[in-house]
Amino acid sequence: MIIGIILGCFLVSTFLLVIAKRITALVHAFRMQSVFLFLYTLYMSIGQQSTELFAVCALVLALKVVIIPLVLMRITRRINTEEDLGLLINPQISLVVAAVLAYLSYLFTYNAMGLAHSSASIAFVASMAAASIGFFLMVSRMKALGQVVGLLVMENAIFLAASVITGGMPFFAEIALFFDVLVFVVIVEVFVYKVNRLFTHIDTSKMQSLKG
Amino acid sequence: MIMTCKVLLICLSAPLVSGMIRKMKNIVRMRKGPGILQPYCDLMKLFSKEEVVSKNVSWIFYASPAIVFSSGISALLLILIASPGYQDAGSFAFLIAAFFVLGLGRFFQALAGIDAGSSFGGMGSSREMFISSFAEPAAFISIFVLCVSGPGTPVFSFFLAAAALFMVILAETSRIPVDNRETHLELTMVHEAMLLEYSGPSLGLIELTGHIRQMIFFTMLSWYLFPVARAGSLGWILFGLRIMAIILAVALVEVSVAKMRLFRVVDFLSFAFFIALVASIAAGLGV
């Protein structure tokens, strides 16, 4: 019952990422998705009574809900760019694509796992849908920050999928993953800042040709 | 007999629900505000007043309040037939019929808005139809979730459908991200602009229908959020608690969200539509 609602919120916030037109809205939606990921891990760790899972849960809260959105907002402020995300595909069509992706992930889960009504299959559906939507965000958003958020969404989704399939990875693997993501975000911050100073924009569609 | 009691109770408590939402909003905003019985006083005042009607109106203007009110009551009866506990295989058709009957009421309301020929009325009507043309698909798809779901309570798809229906409710009952009931500012009002020409008992009838419509939508939302039905007096208490929960959610959303530009409403409601679509796929596959 509770798990269904949390995962429903997770999927809704994933769809919120798709209709976001501005960078701030995108980051807020990402933060919302991370909050539901945190609630999911919290629910799991209460169910399993394991200290390691509680630690992972605290890491999710600290890193994905607080630090990464803050860093992303800081880049947005520092590079002083306009808020527009540079949508290749407008929000309505993006929603159609996202619904199709969600359908495909339902179909995949249905054929691969066949577990109707179990919370594991719902979580798997949500994570598959979020992963493919994150990938779609990376493809269809021209600004570098949109692509970064797309990658982070995929990371969230894969975290969810891993916790569903394996029932919690080894603690060290989790820690390593979290620091990987943290380092990724910090590097991206520097990188985007440099790109913006060099090219005066972060629009990747304008970086196809060589600059003389 | 039980059915009659239900209809009467829902009709009589409908203004109370609006009053409670208003009170709750005022509490959150640290204001005093009118008491929760204020809608009843408003209705009594309107029904005891004399009616002023423009010289330029046709029969549509006179007929509309009655049509709107009767469509609201018929829709209420239809959804009570289809409510959990009374359901059989064909009863979901009543839900869809209820939406069409409500649509009839809205059609006449929009016509009456144009009828007097004032500029605000026409603007309100066109905006109302614009919004409802986006709200209706989302509402229908989220009803289909209830229809296609098999035995058991698929919480996941029901919750997604409830999220979609909640957004539709905000649009249909003219709540803040879409419309604002508390203002008569010409640039922002949608629903109120349509009713500007009405006064006295006619306005009272239309307002009462607004309360009943809101109650219809809240009842439907409560089926999604709390799919288990109980009979007897426990059922009544649970029903009250469920409606209270929805009132709280609506009031909190209304005080914490800013009103959207009219053309952002398209994004809002198409979001609701696709959430409902995903929910119906989930329900169809039995997840």
Cβ separation of B152 and A109 shorter than 8 Å? no
Mean pLDDT of A140-159: 89
Is residue A7 within 8 A of residue A122, CB to CB? The reply is yes
- Report phi then psi at B61, rounded to 5: -65, -40
pTM: 0.90
Q: What is the reported pLDDT for B5?
A: 86
Please tell me whether the interface predicted TM-score (ipTM) of this complex is above 0.85. no
Q: Hey, what amino acid is at B49?
A: K
- pLDDT over 90 at A80, yes or no: no
Q: Where are the domains of chain A?
A: 2-207
Question: B182 and chain A: CB distance < 8 Å anywhere?
Answer: no
Mean pLDDT of B209-214: 95
pLDDT digits (tens, 9 = 90+) for B88-111: 656 778 888 999 999 999 999 999
Query: What SS3 class is residue B246?
Result: helix
Query: What is the rounded CA–CA span in Å between residue B72 and residue B210?
Result: 8
Question: A179 and chain B: CB distance < 8 Å anywhere?
Answer: no
Which carries the bigger pLDDT value, residue A195 or residue A95?
A95
pLDDT digits (tens, 9 = 90+) for B108-142: 999 999 998 888 889 999 999 999 999 999 999 99
Tell me the CB-side half-sphere exposure of residue B39, using CA atoms within 13 A: 22
Residues of B in contact with A125 (CB under 8 A): 282, 287
CA distance A4 to chain B (A): 5
Question: B257 and chain A: CB distance < 8 Å anywhere?
Answer: no
Domain count, chain B: 1
Of A1, A21, A98, the CB nearest to B274: A98
Question: B114 and chain A: CB distance < 8 Å anywhere?
Answer: no
Q: What is the reported pLDDT for A192?
A: 84
Which residue shows structure tokens 């945190």? Answer: A38
Chain A nearest-CA residue for B156: A4
Query: What is the rounded CA–CA span in Å between residue A117 and residue B186?
Result: 50
Query: What is the rounded CA–CA span in Å between residue B110 and residue B104?
Result: 10
Is residue B146 within 8 A of residue B92, CB to CB? The reply is yes
Of A92, A102, A107, the CB nearest to B278: A102
Residues of A in contact with B149 (CB under 8 A): none
Of A12, A91, A125, the CB nearest to B275: A12
Q: What is the reported pLDDT for B229?
A: 65
CA distance A126 to chain B (A): 10
Mean pLDDT of A183-188: 88
Which residue, among B159, B156, B226, B224, has the nearest Cα to A106 in the 3D structure? B156
Domain span at residue B168? 2-49+58-285
Residues of A in contact with B160 (CB under 8 A): 8, 11-12
pLDDT digits (tens, 9 = 90+) for B152-184: 667 788 889 999 999 999 999 999 889 888 888
Question: A128 and chain B: CB distance < 8 Å anywhere?
Answer: no
Of A12, A16, A92, the CB nearest to B270: A92
Question: A121 and chain B: CB distance < 8 Å anywhere?
Answer: yes
Which residue, among A124, A118, A15, has the nearest Cα to B286 in the 3D structure? A118
Q: What is the reported pLDDT for B4?
A: 85
Query: What is the rounded CA–CA span in Å between residue B33 and residue B50?
Result: 27
Question: B266 and chain A: CB distance < 8 Å anywhere?
Answer: yes
Question: A29 and chain B: CB distance < 8 Å anywhere?
Answer: no
Query: What SS3 class is residue B32?
Result: coil
Residues of B in contact with A1 (CB under 8 A): 155
CA distance B272 to chain A (A): 10
CA dist B51 → A70, B3, B31 (Å): 58, 34, 33
- The per-residue DSSP string of B78-147 comes to HHHHTSTTT--GGGHHHHHHHHHHHHHHHHHHHHHHHHT--HHHHHHHHHHHHHHHHHHHHHHHHHHHHH
Of B154, B160, B278, the CB nearest to A117: B154
How much of chain A exceeds pLDDT 90, in percent?
Answer: 35
pLDDT digits (tens, 9 = 90+) for B13-67: 999 999 999 999 999 999 998 999 999 999 999 999 999 998 889 999 999 999 9
Alpha helices in chain B (DSSP H): 2-28, 38-47, 59-81, 92-115, 119-148, 155-172, 191-194, 200-225, 232-256, 264-285
Mention every residue, 6+ apart, whose C-beta is less than 8 A from residue A112.
none
Q: What is the reported pLDDT for B86?
A: 56
- The band of A115, judged by pLDDT with boundaries at 50, 70 and 90, is low
